[in-house]
Amino acid sequence: MLNLPFKTIGGGAALLLAILAPWLLSAYDLNLLGRFLALSLSAMGLVLLWGEGGILSLGQGVFFGLGGYLLAMHLKLDGLGAGELPDFMTWSGVTALPWWWAPFRNPLVTILGVLLVPAAIGAGFSWLMFRRRIGGVYFALITQALALVFATLLISQQGTTGGFNGLTDYHNLMGLNLNDEGVTRGIYWLTLALVATAYFALRWLLSSRFGKLLRASRDGSNRLRFLGYDPTPYKVVAFSVAAVLTGVSGAMFTLHAGVVSPALVGVVPSIEMVIWVAIGGRTYLVGGIVGALLVNFAKDKISTALPELWLYALGLLFILAVTAFPRGIVGEFEGERRFKPARLGDMFARWRAGRATS
Amino acid sequence: MDAAFLTGQVFNGFSVASIYILAALGLALSFGLMRVINMAHGEILMVGSYLAYLTILFIPGPLGIFAAMLVAFIGAGLLGAGLEAALVSKLTARPLDTLLATWGVSLILQQGARDVFGATGVSVTAPAWLDGAITIGALPLPAARLFIMAVAVAVLGGLALFLRMTRVGLLVRAVNQDRATASAMGVNVRQVDAFIFGLGAGVAGIGGVVLALLGPVTPNVGQSYIVTAFLVVVLGGLGSMIGTTIAAVMIGLVMALAQIFVDVSFAQVLTLLFVVLFLQFRPQGVIAIRSRALDAE
């Protein structure tokens, strides 16, 4: 146990620090850290989808928004009586609760909704695309249009979505006061646990046979087809898993931030998610977490100090991330390491690993 | 729903389509050659609009708009060629990375315009002869919109003639059909790339002048059209001019006709749905080049 690799020690120390963060950071910084950890779930989804699958989605904000809005709908309904309406609906002159709001009064339905609605929409949409072999730039542009349409739709339906302001001003979750210090810490640890779970689950997924076939579909779809595989299901699963992660990310972010609005789900936030991953290292799960935290803390610091400067910096980041540092921060520190083959169940990988070391 | 209203919407559809043509042509041309999309194309439209504003400040009068077009064509074209040389040419064969890098350029250009011209927007005074409307039957057709259509048709015609009749056009078509063979025959493929990128940006510059006639010029003016212009390129199919034109008209009409029944935001939903469904039947867009070559992916 003493010759643990440096990465394991470093990762363990980072995790320990993150667990202890509520005692180390001010309430404000803890809230930021919680938000950005929630965002890193989206980033890990993009590592799976873009880094490993080669599928660039510029519409992840849609799934982020679905998760965030579904949870916010529950929070708005929480504590209201049978005939009562959320405050913004009354202001907009809506007289009855829309049918698609009603199920989310139930917390269990809400949790299922946050997981299943992005999964279903992601699977349906990506299946329509990938079965006709629409990929690359075409796919990126269509997903961008999807993000635009989603945000426009949210803004236009003032009475049922809160319009431009989104859904905000809620204080209770299942009888807990969201402003209570213990509750905010609990939500922080929940976020951290979700990030850790997602990290290890994705690591397992990517080192499995599925991960290998996904990378194969990225590097040579045609070769994969010649070998008798259909790449479509692998891509659809990758897109759907990323959609679920992004949905959970949106829900957790909404809990930390206390607001979800069209400004968080449109074209610009969707493409910003991609830059976190590009900066951190697009083929590294840790890169997704590092990128999401670094870029967002930088954004917070720079845009409060010098608001005009932030967009120049962000623009420059986009350019540098693909020209000067295509491997990202984590990639710069790593060697030519790729995913280690899973120890069990893949004879070819074991054979190749054996050859490489001998 | 009466007939006049319906024809009015069809007119609007064509009028919107002509803006999409001007915005999407340059994208489609360089996509056909290089398989890359310039995400900063919307900001090239914006630069065209601001150049129109500046030109008309210096050259008022009825013909100022034509001077503005010339200035915007050259200015935006140079900007495009510079962008190609400095960034896009370094990233060929990495189309997705080009998307991201040019998005960075678009952010910088937007913030630059905000710092130079202010966030509120400036307005271009259209010449008096574009103010009125020409009435056909019971239907008043705004002169400015008719002018935009005329500009789109003129640009399409000019480009078609250029590609068909000139030696440079021949080279462009050769590279478009088969890049490797053209290169082997001694065509300087890199120069053709840069030229077409600049030309496409110039066309977008003209599009920017036209946008300035419709509303105030803001740093975000390009963003409001560019996402749909991207859809036009996807729907049109591998950089074909005819395909792009047909796709722009289809999208313009779907959007305008959908607005008879639903509001603008739902019309956008229906348009995207239309594109997704259309691609189910023709995944390569309106004009697909049939070949036995494998898919590029």
Mean pLDDT of chain A: 87
Chain B interface, mutation test: which of A56, A149, A153, A155, most B Cβ atoms within 10 Å?
Answer: A149
Has residue A39 got a pLDDT over 60?
yes
Neighboring chain A residues of B31 at a CB cutoff of 8 Å: 137
Q: Is residue B260 part of a domain?
A: yes
A166 φ/ψ sector (left φ>0, alpha ψ -120 to 50, else beta): left
Residue range B235-277, pLDDT digits in tens: 998 768 899 999 999 999 999 999 988 888 899 999 999 999 9
B230 closest CB neighbour out of A141, A278, A326: A141
Nearest to B268 by CA among B279, B254, B278: B254
Could you give phi then psi for residue A328, rounded to 5 degrees? Answer: 80, 175
Q: Is residue B231 part of a domain?
A: yes
How far apart are alpha carbons A274 and A272 in whole angstroms? 5
CA distance B18 to chain A (A): 20
Q: What are the Cα distances from residue A34, in Å, to A159, A242, B43, B266?
A: 30, 20, 35, 35
Residue contact B297–A136, C-beta within 8 A: yes
- B165-186 mean pLDDT: 91
Has residue A342 got a pLDDT over 60?
no
CA distance A14 to chain B (A): 30
Nearest to A259 by CA among A76, A130, A3: A76
The confidence band for B284, taking pLDDT boundaries of 50, 70 and 90, is confident
Exposure b/e, B260-293, CB count within 10 A at least 16 = b: eeeeebbbbbbbbebbbebbeeebbbbbeeeeee
Residue contact B227–A148, C-beta within 8 A: yes
A323 closest CB neighbour out of B31, B101, B280: B101
**Looking at the complex, does the CB of residue B270 fall below 8 Å from at least one CB of chain A?**
no
CATH number of the structural domain spanning residue B60? 1.10.3470
The confidence band for A309, taking pLDDT boundaries of 50, 70 and 90, is confident
Residue contact A308–B114, C-beta within 8 A: yes
- A120-131 mean pLDDT: 94
Q: What is the model's pLDDT at position A324?
A: 84
Q: Is residue B294 part of a domain?
A: no
Has residue A175 got a pLDDT over 90?
no
Number of residues in chain B: 297
CA angle (B138 as vertex; B132, B142 as ends), nearest 5? 25
Domain that holds residue A180: 6-357
Neighboring chain A residues of B296 at a CB cutoff of 8 Å: 136
Residue contact B37–A308, C-beta within 8 A: no
Has residue A202 got a pLDDT over 90?
yes
CA distance A214 to chain B (A): 14
Which two three-digit tokens encode residue B88? 């896009």
Residue of B nearest to A273 (CA): B100
The interface residues of chain A toward chain B in range 302-341, judged by CB-CB distance below 8 A, are 308, 311-312, 314-319, 321-323, 326
Q: Specify the higher pLDDT residue, A191 or B6.
A: A191
**How buried is A348 (Cβ within 10 angstroms: 0-12 exposed, 13-18 middle, 19+ buried)?**
exposed
Q: Is residue A326 part of a domain?
A: yes
Q: What is the model's pLDDT at position B43?
A: 95
Q: Is residue A250 part of a domain?
A: yes
Q: Where are the alpha helices (DSSP H) in chain B?
A: 3-34, 41-58, 64-86, 95-117, 143-165, 167-177, 179-184, 189-214, 223-236, 241-261, 264-281
The interface residues of chain B toward chain A in range 221-240, judged by CB-CB distance below 8 A, are 223, 227-228, 230-231, 233-234
CA distance A220 to chain B (A): 7
**Looking at the complex, does the CB of residue B275 fall below 8 Å from at least one CB of chain A?**
yes
A90-93 contacts, C-beta under 8 A, 24 or more apart:
A92/A158, A92/A159, A92/A163, A93/A159
Domain total of chain B: 1
**Looking at the complex, does the CB of residue B293 fall below 8 Å from at least one CB of chain A?**
no
Exposure b/e, B57-91, CB count within 10 A at least 16 = b: eeeeeeebbebbbebbbebbbebbbebbeebbbeb
In contact, B4 and B67? CB cutoff 8 Å: no
Has residue B279 got a pLDDT over 80?
yes
Which two three-digit tokens encode residue B47? 């630069």
How far apart are alpha carbons A154 and B96 in whole angstroms? 28
Q: Is residue A1 part of a domain?
A: no
Cα Rg of chain A, angstroms: 21
CA distance A255 to chain B (A): 28
Among A42-51, B221-230, B285-294, which is the least confidently predicted range? B285-294
Has residue A340 got a pLDDT over 60?
no
- DSSP assignment, residue B292? S
Has residue A259 got a pLDDT over 80?
yes
In contact, B269 and B258? CB cutoff 8 Å: no
Domain that holds residue B121: 3-281
Q: Is residue B292 part of a domain?
A: no
Residue contact B279–A222, C-beta within 8 A: no
Residue of B nearest to A133 (CA): B283
Q: Is residue A105 part of a domain?
A: yes
B272 closest CB neighbour out of A133, A145, A308: A145
Residue B104 has, within 13 A of its CA and on its CB side, a CA count of: 23
Chain B interface, mutation test: which of A57, A138, A235, most B Cβ atoms within 10 Å?
Answer: A138
Mean pLDDT of chain B: 89
Domain total of chain A: 1
- DSSP assignment, residue A259? E
Non-local (6+) Cβ contacts of B124 within 8 A are B49, B52, B53, B56, B68, B212, B213, B217
Share of chain A above pLDDT 90, in %: 52
Has residue A179 got a pLDDT over 90?
no
Q: What is the model's pLDDT at position A3?
A: 59
The confidence band for B297, taking pLDDT boundaries of 50, 70 and 90, is very low
Identity of residue A56: L
Chain B interface, mutation test: which of A50, A311, A314, A317, most B Cβ atoms within 10 Å?
Answer: A311
Residue range A239-258, pLDDT digits in tens: 999 999 999 999 999 999 98
Residue contact B35–A312, C-beta within 8 A: no
- Sign of the torsion formed by the C-alpha atoms of B225, B227, B232 and B238: positive
Neighboring chain B residues of A319 at a CB cutoff of 8 Å: 87, 101, 104-105
What ipTM describes this predicted complex?
0.91
Residue of A nearest to B282 (CA): A132
**Looking at the complex, does the CB of residue B65 fall below 8 Å from at least one CB of chain A?**
no
